């Protein structure tokens, strides 16, 4: 069976600059896919090629079995929600939403009904006569969403849909967006530089770096099993330990990184190999007294920051190895971390993973 959306070996050159470099991936109908990456990684260019604003230098885009190469943006079954929303300032909310429907020359009562339906969907009923300039940021965002959905696109592209909202509104809107997507079953591609946003929104994430798609997977796979150092570092917080493999120890590997550490690893490792050992801060436990567990060593606490739900520590272990540790406050946090100057950390070998290079 052919996939719903097929993106095959897409590249885009601007002069000498290779903005998108040989990207391929497929989407199933109804997926909510995020393109995640730092600014300038080519994700927006990729989005603009899907919308038809840029022509790919190489490669092939197919939506529902239809080749998009020579299809004008106006005729694509694709709509886009711009980062700036790009609402038409001289038109009312209703006319903004009706714009795409009028281009399709639908009968006016049908347009009216559809606009009402969309206003209800985005909880803006009764606001149809307002001008965009009189709306709040969150309301504008929903008008932009309704306008982009009006033509029932097969694929909806969202360029940093939440970036212009403040933090509190952002988390509410995230759920709202997912709700609407599930209700309609439309395929969404979201471009974002915010890993948290990508995690909470998507069914799958594609991480981009320097024009290349470096990894695709579910949010869980991306977080727990990053394939490259870039992905591990970009998605979530992480510490790296440079280690040398010593020998196999049961189901783990014994390694040396200042102190002896047990870690997971594939059978391709050989003793004497140099590897990067990665571990996420929340997988490490910090105690004031030794507990006698595996992978435990004394540390000095260099710095700390209180986050409310938890505290993040920067600690220095033997030989100056640096680790980030995150302790969530299961109980009301009483201990003033300032008093704690030294302590012990330990972590499970299963929490570690090995990255090449």
Partner 1 sequence: MHSFLQKFGRLLVIWLPLGWLGIFFMLPLVEMVNVSLSEARRAVPPYNPAFQIGKDGISFQPAVDNYLLIYEYWEDYLWPAVNSVRLAFFSTLYCLLFAYPMAWWIARSNKSLQHILLVLILMPFWTSSLLRMYALIGLLNPNGVINDFLIWAGITVTPIQMMQTDFSIYSGMILTYLPLMILPLYASLVRLDNSVLEAAADLGAKNWDIFRTIILPLSMPGVIAGCLLVFIPAVGEFVIPALLGGPEQLMLGKVIWTEFFRNRDWPVAAAIAIILIAIIILPIVYARYQDKESIS
User: Which residues make up the interface to partner 1 (CB under 8 A)?
Assistant: 51-53, 72-76, 78-80, 82-84, 86-90, 99-100, 103-104, 147-148, 150-151
Q: Cβ 173 to partner 1, closest distance in Å?
A: 20
Q: Which is nearer to partner 1, 103 or 225 (CB)?
A: 103
DSSP one-letter code for 151:
T
Name which of 71 and 121 has its Cβ closer to partner 1.
71
We find the least distance from the C-beta atom of residue 102 to partner 1, in angstroms, to be 8
CB of 151 to partner 1, least distance (A): 7
Residue 196 CA to residue 135 CA, distance in Å, equals 27
List all residues 6 or more positions away from 319 whose beta carbon is below 8 Å from its beta carbon: 258, 259
Written as six digits, the tokens of 46 are: 């990729």
Q: Are 141 and 85 in contact (CB under 8 A)?
A: yes
DSSP 83: T
Q: How far is the CB of 66 from partner 1 (least distance, A)?
A: 16
Closest CA to 26 of 40, 6, 44, 53: 6
- Residue closer to partner 1 (CB basis): 147 or 170: 147
CB 9 within 8 A of CB 22: yes
> Do residues 355 and 228 make contact, with C-beta atoms less than 8 angstroms apart?
yes
Q: Rounded distance, CA 315 to CA 344, Å?
A: 10
In the bound state with partner 1, the residue whose beta carbon lies nearer, of 95 and 171, is: 95
Q: Of 60 and 82, which CB lies nearer to partner 1 in the complex structure?
A: 82
CB of 161 to partner 1, least distance (A): 14
339 φ, ψ to 5°? -70, -25
Shortest Å distance, C-beta 167 to partner 1:
24
List the one residue out of 205, 179, 180 whose CA is nearest residue 190.
205
Name the residue nearer to partner 1 (CB basis): 99 or 304.
99
How far, CA to CA in Å, does 167 sit from each of 171, 270, 291, 351? 7, 47, 39, 30
- What is the smallest separation between the CB atom of 96 and partner 1, expressed in angstroms? 9
Q: Which helix (H) or strand (E) holds 142?
A: helix 137-149
Min CB(81)–partner 1 separation in Å: 9
Would you say 222 and 214 are in contact if contact means Cβ atoms under 8 Å apart? Answer: no
Q: Which is nearer to partner 1, 32 or 78 (CB)?
A: 78
Report yes or no: 195 and 238 within 8 Å, Cβ to Cβ: no
Q: How far is the CB of 43 from partner 1 (least distance, A)?
A: 16
Cβ-based nearer residue to partner 1, 38 or 73: 73
Angle at 172 between CA 168 and CA 174, to 5 degrees: 115
CA distance 5 to 33: 11
71 versus 214: smaller Cβ distance to partner 1: 71
Q: How far is CA 59 from CA 4, 71, 106, in A?
A: 17, 15, 35
């Amino acid at each position: 069976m052919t996939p719903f959306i097929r993106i095959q070996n897409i590249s885009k050159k601007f002069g000498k600059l290779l903005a998108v470099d040989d990207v391929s991936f497929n989407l199933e109908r109804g997926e909510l896919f995020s393109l995640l990456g730092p600014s300038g990684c080519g994700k927006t260019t990729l989005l603009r090629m899907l919308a038809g604003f840029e022509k790919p230098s190489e490669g092939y885009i197919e939506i529902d079995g239809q080749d998009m190469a020579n299809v004008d943006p106006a005729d694509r079954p694709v709509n886009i929600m711009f980062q700036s929303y790009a609402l038409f300032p001289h038109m009312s909310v209703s006319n903004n939403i009706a714009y795409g429907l009028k281009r399709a020359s639908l009968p006016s009562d049908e347009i009216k009904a559809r606009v009402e339906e969309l206003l209800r969907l985005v909880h803006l009923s009764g606001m149809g006569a307002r001008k965009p300039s009189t709306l709040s940021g969150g309301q504008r965002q929903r008008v932009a969403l309704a306008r982009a959905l009006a033509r029932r696109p097969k694929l909806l592209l969202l360029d940093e849909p939440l970036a212009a909202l403040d933090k509190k509104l952002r988390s509410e809107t995230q759920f709202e967006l997912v709700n609407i997507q599930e209700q309609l079953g439309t395929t969404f591609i979201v471009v974002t530089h915010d890993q948290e946003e990508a995690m909470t929104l998507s069914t799958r994430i594609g991480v981009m770096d320097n024009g290349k798609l470096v990894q695709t997977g579910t949010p869980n796979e991306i977080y727990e099993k990053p394939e490259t150092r870039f992905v591990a570092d970009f998605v979530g917080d992480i510490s790296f330990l440079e280690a040398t493999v010593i020998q196999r120890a049961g189901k783990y590997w014994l390694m040396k990184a200042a102190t002896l550490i047990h870690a997971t690893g594939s059978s391709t490792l050989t003793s004497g190999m140099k590897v990067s050992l990665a571990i996420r801060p929340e997988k490490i436990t910090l105690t004031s007294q030794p507990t006698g567990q595996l992978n435990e060593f004394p540390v000095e606490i260099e710095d700390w920051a209180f986050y409310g739900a938890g505290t993040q520590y920067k600690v220095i272990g033997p030989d100056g190895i640096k680790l980030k540790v995150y302790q969530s406050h299961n109980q009301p946090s009483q201990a003033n971390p300032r008093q704690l100057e030294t302590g012990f950390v330990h972590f499970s070998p299963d929490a570690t993973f090995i990255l090449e290079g």
